[in-house]
Amino acid sequence: MEATTFVLFGATGDLAKRKIYPALYNLFLDHKLSKSFTIIGLGRREWSDEAFQAQVEQSLHTFSRRSADDSASIKAFIKAFRYSVMDVERIEDYHKLLQVVEQREQELHLPGNRMFYLSVGPEFFGKIAASIQESGLGSAKGWKRLIIEKPFGHDLKSAQELNQELGKAFKEEEIFRIDHYLGKPMVQKLDVLEQSNPALQDIWTNQYIANVQITASETVGVEERAGYYDHVGAIRDMFQNHMLQLLMTLGKNDGRISKRQVMESVEPLLKENVVNDVVRGQYTAGSIQGKPAAGYKDEPGIDPCSTNDTFVAVRLRIDDVFWRDIPIYIRTGKRMKEKSTRIVIEFKQPFKRSYSAQERTAPNLLIFEISPNEGVTLQINHKDLPNKGVTSTIPVDLHFNQSGEPEAYENLIYDALQGDPTFFAHWDEVELAWKWVQPILEAFEEDLVPLHHYPAGTYGPDASDLLLAEDGNHWWFDSKPVPLAQRIPREAYA
């Protein structure tokens, strides 16, 4: 790892204490940081270096995956931290910061590599990038890089504007857009699983796959983010970024196809057809794990007349040689029955002829569990001898021991420090994702898609089950197949 100055905007904020400091600490324990490494934290709060270091230490005790009880390690780690008061809107503060950075570089004989991490609100991203350029902070002898948090724009136009602003100060290869789903260990293992296992590679095509289901369900509601979330919804907060990035990662086949090519091949949606392939949902009062949960419109800070989406389910298709004609279903929502992110690949049934009840087989399923547990399961049919020899399913389970594994932010910060862009959201992917989602945003805004309600603590609205039932499918593991006779048009549920 090269010697680097790590400049952290938003050092007094929530993300820094919950994710960034614990990630840096664990990298330090794993000897993945250079010995000459310095971190300059920034915020408007008038903190001294010592007060800042104490806050960082406290965050490690609370949030680090590994114990922060070894005082020698903590002491060695903490001494790399300095704090500088800064208002990101004042250019003179950048000049002051430049002096602090240069002084540290001289003290530690650093080569002038500078990592700028923007852990602040997105309204500041453009301004900070421009001021880094204007103040000379971006003109060091070594490399410069920018790590940027989500959200990257609010729609296609704002994302393009933001990218143009960043582009004036940083080249694309210097920009590392964090999508923390790409840092999750199981997601990082997906392409090697595909690429290094011919048995998997060969069945990774529309010849064998019947459909794909990607789910990211949360049990939490809007928490402290009501004001933000009510203008964003599940479609912007989760679908445009995390869910489409998962799709792009999954769609890559044996490394020959880039994430961009996958996104380019997703069949476009027309605004007037959004209603056919997208279900919009919002939770009402219910109960989660036995505890009563308020409806979305009764949450503090939410407009009581809000039509915001807290759930979306989407059906799409990828038009390339591997994926053509495979329906891909993606859903994500808040206040659902369980917290889980998983990908289920359902394989085609081998025979068309019908079986007796005793011999009937279920489709093979390949399940990638991404969080909170991590693993791969293959569901196969077997003869259940103790149970009259009926054919039934059995899971072949591979669950990884997660105890020693780095967390998403460790993987991502390490990669950015190495200059490895693999697990970041690149501009062409982000732009394509916004282009694809834009008709959905417009259809929601113009109320062309009914808002379906679902009680908190369920798997989303019935319309989400009916979306799959239209193709003769159902969501695995939570809903029952909907018999033909009961298939009511989704509009009837609005």
Range in contact with ligand NAP (rule: CB under 6 A) among 85-93, 345-353, 357-365, 443-451: 85-93
β-bridge mates for residue 378, sequence order: 366, 396
Closest residue to ligand NAP: CB criterion = 13
- Classify residue 257 by its DSSP letter: S
Q: Does 43 bind ligand NAP (CB under 6 A)?
A: yes
In a 3-state reduction of DSSP, which class is residue 137?
coil
Strand partners, 287: 292
87 makes contact with ligand NAP (CB under 6 A): yes
Q: How far apart are CA 423 and CA 246, in angstroms?
A: 11
Minimum CB distance to ligand NAP, residue 92 (Å): 13
Asked if residue 232 binds ligand NAP (CB under 6 A), the reply is no
Pairing of strands 365-371, 311-316: unpaired
* Rounded Cα distance, 263 and 248, in Å: 6
Residues from 318 through 337 that contact ligand NAP (CB under 6 A) = none
CB of 153 to ligand NAP, least distance (A): 12
Q: CA–CA separation, 164 vs 117, rounded Å?
A: 18
Residue number, 36 or 411, with CB nearest to ligand NAP: 411
Token pair for 176: 């590392």
The helix/strand/coil state of 156 is helix
DSSP code at position 378: E
What is the C-alpha R_g of the chain? 24
Q: Which two tokens stand for residue 343?
A: 């990908």
Say if residue 171 carries a ligand binding annotation: no
> Is 435 annotated among the ligand-binding residues?
no
231 is a contact residue toward ligand NAP (CB under 6 A): no
CB atoms within 10 A of CB 281: 27
The CA–CA distances, whole Å, from 225 to 10, 73, 307, 435 equal 17, 35, 17, 26
- How many residues comprise the chain? 494
223 class by beta-carbon count within 10 Å (0-12 exposed, 13-18 middle, 19+ buried): exposed
Contact pattern from residue 105 through residue 134 relative to ligand NAP, giving x for each residue in contact according to CB under 6 A and a dash for the rest? --------------xxxx------------
Please report, for residues 43, 104, 342, the alpha-carbon distance to residue 99 in angstroms, rounded to integers and kept in the order given.
Answer: 17, 9, 48
Rounded to a whole number of angstroms, the minimum distance from the CB of residue 178 to ligand NAP is 7
Q: Is 89 in the site for ligand NAP (CB under 6 A)?
A: yes
Is 44 known as a binding-site position? yes
Q: How far apart are CA 431 and CA 438, in angstroms?
A: 10
| Piece of the chain touching ligand NAP by CB under 6 A; list 38-46, 207-215, 261-269, 389-397 | 38-46
> Is residue 353 annotated as involved in ligand binding?
no
Nearest distance in Å: CB 377, ligand NAP: 29
Is residue 149 within the footprint of ligand NAP (CB under 6 A)?
yes
If one asks whether residue 15 binds ligand NAP (CB under 6 A), the answer comes out as yes
Count CB atoms within 10 A of the CB of residue 354: 7
Minimum CB distance to ligand NAP smaller for 11 or for 238: 11
- Residue 430 binding ligand NAP, by CB under 6 A: no
Annotated active-site residue 242? The verdict is yes
SS3 label, residue 212:
strand
Q: Which of 65, 95, 96, 150 is in the footprint of ligand NAP by CB under 6 A?
A: 150
Q: How far is the CB of 93 from ligand NAP (least distance, A)?
A: 8
Tell me whether residue 90 or residue 383 sits nearer to ligand NAP (CB atom).
90
Q: How many residues bind ligand NAP (CB under 6 A)?
A: 20
Task: Confirm whether residue 14 is marked as ligand binding.
Answer: yes
253 binds ligand NAP (CB under 6 A): no
Q: How many CB atoms lie within 10 A of CB 435?
A: 16
| Annotated catalytic residue within 95, 231, 242, 399 | 242
12 is in an annotated binding site: yes
In the DSSP assignment, the letter for residue 373 is S
Complete edge-to-edge strand list for the sheet that includes strand 451-455: 390-399, 375-384, 365-371, 340-347, 209-217, 328-333, 311-316, 278-284, 451-455
Q: Does 237 bind ligand NAP (CB under 6 A)?
A: no
Per CB under 6 A, the segment of 43-51, 303-311, 317-325, 479-487 that binds ligand NAP is 43-51
Only segment of 7-15, 59-67, 215-223, 271-279 that touches ligand NAP (CB under 6 A)? 7-15
The reply to whether 15 sits in an annotated binding site is yes
Under the binding rule (CB under 6 A), the answer on residue 45 touching ligand NAP is yes
Catalytic positions are 242
Q: Which residues are annotated as a binding site for substrate?
A: 180, 184, 218, 237, 334, 339
Return residues touching ligand NAP (CB under 6 A).
10-16, 43-45, 86-89, 119-122, 149-150
Q: Which residues are annotated as a binding site?
A: 10-17, 44, 87-88, 150, 180, 184, 218, 237, 334, 339
